[in-house]
Amino acid sequence: MAYQVKLPVFEGPMELLLHLLDKNEVDIYDIPIALITKQYLEYLSIAEEIDLELTSEFLIMACTLLSIKAKMLLPKQKPALDEDCEVDPRAELVEKILEYRLFKEMAGSFKERELAQSKLFCREVDEAGLLKQFPPTNPLGSIDLSDLMAAYGNVLRKIEKKREVVSITREEVTIQEKIDSVLYNLHENPAGLSFYQLFSGMTKRGEIIMTFLALLELSRRGIVLKGDKKVPTLFPKEVKSIIEALLFVSSEPLSAKEMAEVLALDEQDVIVLLKEIKADCERERRGFCLLEIAGGFIFTTRSEHVEYIERIVKPRLNTLSQAALETLAIISYQQPITRSEIEAIRGVKCDSAINTILDRGLIEEAGRKEAPGRPILFITTPDFLMYMGLKSLDDLPELKSQDAQDV
């Protein structure tokens, strides 16, 4: 029976060095370079015997270790009074190991977030197919443009008969102010208002024009429809249910600003209602909850229900590899960053890892760096925030520097 040697596979030389340092429980600021070099070369020798393919980076690191070992063996010369202290040959390597270890640990944090998010499911909507089933309709119902223009003309003719005798400072009226005014009047008149009641008491042409434009804008949004001689009312108590409906049909996070524009409401009012909806979901222990993520809000299932949901819904895509998570962690904290800068931190080629997270839509190209060769810069995308369950990049875990005590 042949004897089989099992050897752990390391992504790159930095990962192997970290493994050796942890295995020997040594102070990273006082690396026993002879011991670590010996064990490093032993690993390469065994890997060669079992035909384990190693990248050129492993050999480059071996040369670096041997170079440092040789410098450590040279007799130390006492520096002159006007000269700086001699630099430790291990200093540059220590700095690189610390930086790599920092992002490797952050990749572990990303792994936990990835696992937590994999237990949440959002509603997936085929927006293109859905829109085909509902062709656009006339927001004015049975009233066409000629009817509206005729009514508008009647209003203008009525004020033509009333001549203003005194000219006073002109008041500036905005469409948004008139939108708010129309909605307020609707709230105060639950039975509805006729077209002419909206212009009651107005004597200035500018104010009438702005009111008419406000009515058209509300009609375009589908909030105020003029299907007959009355204007339907939008009750305040309906707003919360409308927000829930918007969240239900959306497959991506909706911002409070987007919902405020749809409802013609103030953004802060929408935020208050969103907090109420979130509290309702928690208080009533509904099967879904409201999550603030990627700069918006979205309904998701509860993580504790994942076992049952996966019985009828296909599980998520395969999770990211350790190499991809380390690369993603470096980009998220150092963006914009080039491929070579990422490889300098990880100590290994990152083509495969970058392509993987590019295909997932977690990162994207963001122009080119003004440097020789003009290398491509990479940044994270909104999908990265969704994938990691973050509201914004400001919610990334704090990147803490390490010292000898940490190690």
Q: Residue ranges of the domains in the chain?
A: 1-74+87-118+316-407, 136-161+173-233, 235-300
Q: pLDDT exceeding 70 applies to what percent of the chain?
A: 74
Instruction: Pick one of 3.40.50.2300, 3.10.20.600, 1.10.10.10, 3.30.200.20 as the CATH number of 235-300.
Output: 1.10.10.10
Instruction: Pick one of 1.10.10.10, 3.30.750.210, 3.90.180.10, 1.10.760.10 as the CATH number of 1-74+87-118+316-407.
Output: 1.10.10.10
Helix axes 13-24, 91-117, angle to 10 degrees: 100
Distance CA 47, CA 40 (A): 11
Question: Per residue in 242-279, pLDDT tens?
Answer: 888 888 888 888 999 998 888 877 788 888 889 888 98
Distance CA 243, CA 105 (A): 40
Q: What's 26's DSSP letter?
A: -
Tell me what pLDDT residue 375 has.
Answer: 92
Q: Is the pLDDT of residue 358 over 60?
A: yes
Tell me what pLDDT residue 163 has.
Answer: 58
- Which tokens in the block code for residue 286? 């509904």
Q: What's 88's DSSP letter?
A: P
Contact 179, 217 (CB under 8 A): yes
Q: List the one residue out of 322, 377, 255, 357 whose CA is nearest residue 10.
A: 322
Distance CA 259, CA 238 (A): 14
- If you average pLDDT over residues 210-239, what whole number do you get? 60
The band of 233, judged by pLDDT with boundaries at 50, 70 and 90, is very low
Q: What's 319's DSSP letter?
A: P
Q: Note whether 1-74+87-118+316-407 and 235-300 share their fold.
A: yes
- If you average pLDDT over residues 227-234, what whole number do you get? 42
More confident residue, 26 or 311: 311
Contact 182, 219 (CB under 8 A): no
- Residue 123 carries which side chain, given as an amino acid letter? R
Lowest mean pLDDT of 122-126, 190-194, 374-378, name the range.
190-194
What residues have CB less than 8 Å from 249, skipping those under 6 apart? Answer: 123, 125
Return the SS3 of 266: coil
Whether cis (ω within 30° of 0) applies to the bond prior to 139 is no
- Residue 249 carries which side chain, given as an amino acid letter? V
Distance CA 14, CA 345 (A): 9
Q: Is the pLDDT of residue 328 over 90?
A: yes
Q: What are phi and psi of 193, to 5 degrees?
A: -125, 145
- If you average pLDDT over residues 194-210, what whole number do you get? 75
The band of 144, judged by pLDDT with boundaries at 50, 70 and 90, is low
What residues have CB less than 8 Å from 331, skipping those under 6 apart? Answer: 337, 342, 357, 363, 378, 379, 380
